[in-house]
Amino acid sequence: MESTIQDTLINKERFGKDFTWGVSTAAVQIEGAHDADGKGESIWDVFSAQKGKILNGDHHQIATDFYNRYQNDIDLVKQLNIPNFRFSISWPRILPNGTGPVNQAGIDYYNNVIDYCLKQGIEPWITLYHWDLPYALELQGGWTNRAIINWFTEYVTICAQCFGDRVKHWMVMNEPGVFTGAGYFFGIHAPGKTGIGNFLPAVHHAVLSITAGAKVLRALLPEAQIGTTFSCSYIEPYSNKPKDIAAAIRVDALLNRLFIEPILGLGYPAELSVLKDMEKYILPGDHDNLKFDFDFIGLQNYTREIVKYSLFTPYIQASLVKAKERNVPLTAMGWEVYPAAIYHILKQFNEYPQIKKIYLTENGAAFPDEADDGKVDDPKRVEYLKAYLQQVLKAKKEGCKVSGYFVWTLTDNFEWAEGYNPRFGLIYVDFETQQRIVKSSGKWYADLLR
C-alpha cells in the first residue's frame, strides 16, 4: 500500500510538463577503449595503472565498453523512456596531447554518439570536463598551471565547432570541488597530488577555466543553454555549540560555496581563512573573469554531512562525523540515505538571485546488487529515488527554480577510486561478459517516464 501512496506522489505529471528527465554518465566511467583510435593518455589512465590507487586493483581500460556498445546502451536509454542523456567528452580523445593536433577519430566517435542519440529521439547533454585531463598537460602542472585556461579554451572551441550544430545543452565542468579536492589536495583521485600549494591554484584556475570555457560556448553557440555542475552536500552542525555551528559554516563554504560564489560574482567565501593564500595566484583582472551569467546550474546531491569542530584538522578546524558512526541508513558508498538533503540544497541554492535555473544533474545510490536468474531486484534504490524525488517535488511546489532531474547513472560503472565495487546503475552490468540487465529501479524509472 505504502508504495502506491509514494507512486502517486511522484507521478511525473506533478513535476509539470516542462520538467526535464534524464540520466547521467561520464566518459572515464563507461567508455573503456583507453587507447583506441588515437586517444591520448589521461591522468586517470596513469593513476589507475599505479598499484594501490584503485580498490581491488581495478582499472577502467575496458569499463562498460560503452565506446563499442554505445548504440546498445543508447537503445537502453530509449527503452527506459529517458528523454535526455548526459555524457562527457574525453579531452584526450579529441586532443591526445591536450593541445595541438586534433584526433579526427575522436571527433567522429562523438559525432556518432550524438547522431545516434538524436536518431533515437534522445537529447544529448554534454559535459566538457569530467575529470580526464590529458596526461601530457599534467606533466606541465595540470590544473596548477595557469596556462590551463588557454589549453581548456582551445579544447572547448573545438568541441563547440564540431558538435554545437546538434547539441543544445552544455555543462562546462563537472564537480570542480571534487577533482581539485580529491585530486590536488588529498591525492586520492588522479593526478594524486597533495597539499594546499596544489589545491589553491587548481581551484583558481578551474574557476577561471569554467568561465573562460563558458564564454567560448556563448560566443560560438549563442543559442545554446550553458551550464556547469557542482557537487553539494547538505551540511548540519553536530550540536548547537557555537564551535560546531561555526565549523559547519566553514565546511559549507568549502563544499558548497567555493566555486559557485565567485562564478556568481560574489567572490570567494570570506569564511575560509585558508583562501588568504589564494591571493598569490590571483592576477590583476581576474576578479572580472571569475564571473559568468550561466543559463543554468547543475546540482548533484547524494547526502548530508554532519560537521564537528576539530582543533587538529588543518586549515578548516572541522571534521565530518562519518555516517556509519551515526546509526543511519547507508548506501554502499557509506553515505547516509537522507532524502531531505536534496530539498535543503535546492532551498539553499535557490536563494541566489543570480541563478536562473537549476537542474539536478545527478542523484542516485549504490547498493550491493546481485543478479539472480537473469533478474536484479534493487528495492532500496527504488525507495531512495522515490524518497529523494518527493523532496524535489516539495521544493518545486514551494517555488524553487528546479527544472529537471537526472539519475546517476545508466549502467553500473567504474566508480573512480572505488573501482567497480559500488553499483550505481539503473542497469546491472556483468563486468566479465558485459551483459546488461535492467534492474527493477530501471523498470520503475521507465514506468515513471512512460
> So which residues are the catalytic ones?
175, 362
SS3 of 77-127: HHHCCCCEEEEECCHHHHCCCCCCCCCHHHHHHHHHHHHHHHHCCCEEEEE
| Greatest Cα pair distance in the chain | 64
Q: Crossing angle, helix 148-163 and helix 196-220, to 10 degrees?
A: 30
Q: Contact 183/134 with Cβ under 8 angstroms?
A: no
Binding positions for ligand NOJ, 78-117, rule CB under 6 A: none
Please report how close the Cβ of residue 370 comes to ligand NOJ at its closest, in angstroms.
20
Please report how close the Cβ of residue 259 comes to ligand NOJ at its closest, in angstroms.
14
Binding positions for ligand NOJ, 418-447, rule CB under 6 A: 424
Q: Contact 294/263 with Cβ under 8 angstroms?
A: yes
Which residue's CB is nearer to ligand NOJ, number 247 or number 346?
346
Which residue's CB is nearer to ligand NOJ, number 107 or number 258?
258
Which residue's CB is nearer to ligand NOJ, number 278 or number 333?
333
Please report how close the Cβ of residue 146 comes to ligand NOJ at its closest, in angstroms.
25
Using CB under 6 A, count the residues that bind ligand NOJ: 10
The C-alpha atoms of residue 160 and residue 167 are separated, in whole angstroms, by: 9
Binding positions for ligand NOJ, 5-34, rule CB under 6 A: 26, 29
Please report how close the Cβ of residue 108 comes to ligand NOJ at its closest, in angstroms.
25
The values of phi and psi at residue 79, to 5°, are -60, -30
The C-alpha atoms of residue 34 and residue 13 are separated, in whole angstroms, by: 41
The C-alpha atoms of residue 233 and residue 200 are separated, in whole angstroms, by: 21
Peptide bond into 8 cis (omega under 30): no
The C-alpha atoms of residue 287 and residue 276 are separated, in whole angstroms, by: 15
The C-alpha atoms of residue 431 and residue 439 are separated, in whole angstroms, by: 15
Binding of ligand NOJ by 336 (CB under 6 A): no
Mapped onto helix, strand or coil, the DSSP state of residue 22 is: strand
Binding of ligand NOJ by 300 (CB under 6 A): yes
Binding of ligand NOJ by 362 (CB under 6 A): yes
Which residue's CB is nearer to ligand NOJ, number 48 or number 300?
300
Q: Crossing angle, helix 104-119 and helix 148-163, to 10 degrees?
A: 50
Binding positions for ligand NOJ, 171-190, rule CB under 6 A: 174-175
Which residue's CB is nearer to ligand NOJ, number 20 or number 103?
20
Binding positions for ligand NOJ, 216-245, rule CB under 6 A: 231
Please report how close the Cβ of residue 67 comes to ligand NOJ at its closest, in angstroms.
17
Residue of 88, 99, 335, 121 whose CA lies nearest to 228: 88
Please report how close the Cβ of residue 267 comes to ligand NOJ at its closest, in angstroms.
26
Binding positions for ligand NOJ, 234-293, rule CB under 6 A: none
Beta bridge partners of 309: 318
Report residue 293 CA to chain centroid gap: 20
The values of phi and psi at residue 186, to 5°, are -85, -25
Binding of ligand NOJ by 303 (CB under 6 A): no
Q: Which secondary-structure segment (H or E) carries 287?
A: helix 286-289
Distances (CA, A) of 11 to 15, 386, 441: 8, 10, 15
The values of phi and psi at residue 170, to 5°, are -125, 135
Please report how close the Cβ of residue 382 comes to ligand NOJ at its closest, in angstroms.
18
Interface residue with ligand NOJ, options 163, 184, 296, 408 (CB under 6 A): 408
Question: Within the chain, how many helices (H) and strands (E) appear?
Answer: 16, 13
Which residue's CB is nearer to ligand NOJ, number 169 or number 308?
169
Please report how close the Cβ of residue 8 comes to ligand NOJ at its closest, in angstroms.
29
Binding of ligand NOJ by 369 (CB under 6 A): no
Interface residue with ligand NOJ, options 163, 198, 415, 425 (CB under 6 A): 415
The C-alpha atoms of residue 421 and residue 58 are separated, in whole angstroms, by: 9
Which residue's CB is nearer to ligand NOJ, number 197 or number 334?
334
Question: What end-to-end distance do the CA atoms of the chain give, in Å?
Answer: 22
Please report how close the Cβ of residue 210 comes to ligand NOJ at its closest, in angstroms.
15
Query: Binding residues for ligand NOJ, per CB under 6 A?
Result: 26, 29, 174-175, 231, 300, 362, 408, 415, 424
